[in-house]
Amino acid sequence: METDPAKRKLIPVYSGFVAYFPDAIVEVAKLSLEGNEQHNPGSELHWDRSKSGDELDALMRHVLDGDWRAVAWRAMANLQKEVEWQREYDARVANGEDEVRGHTRVSWQRHVENSRFQKNADGTFGVSIMEHPAVKAEQVRTTAEMREYIDRLNSPTHSQR
């Protein structure tokens, strides 16, 4: 979201989105609550990103099923992630970081996603997770530790920026 107050005023969040689609927004919000109860029963409403990362495949399955609430939710989830990737890439380019040199935003994203989990010769997993402003690397010894680490990174308190 834009931080400059003058520029923020130019973004018509209500008149250009909420006012256009009030019923659809309510349906997507209801689906978020239903999904939270399905995947995280009894917990506070949050987007648990560790539960599913295949937004486009899931979106297309929902299109084939005619589940338009789920299509809208998945489209918004994918757009949110794309905006976050673009913001991260732009910040790295602005900082002149070597990691992004020679990459488009999409090729850099693929490079990062493909290098996140690599099994090392000693059986450990090398995990490189983006955390703005720098990439951190951690050695994770077991699959259980890897899942725990990923869950921690995907927790609602961690994923809020």
Q: Which residue has the higher pLDDT, 60 or 111?
A: 60
Percentage of the chain beyond pLDDT 90 is 41
The residues, any chain, with a CB within 8 Å of residue 35's CB and separated by 6 or more, are 73
State the pLDDT at residue 51. 81
Domain boundaries, the chain: 116-161
Instruction: Quote the pLDDT of residue 77.
Output: 93
pLDDT at 34 over 60: yes
pLDDT band at 2 (very low <50, low <70, confident <90, very high): confident
Check: pTM over 0.85? Answer yes or no.
no
> What does the pLDDT read at residue 154?
60
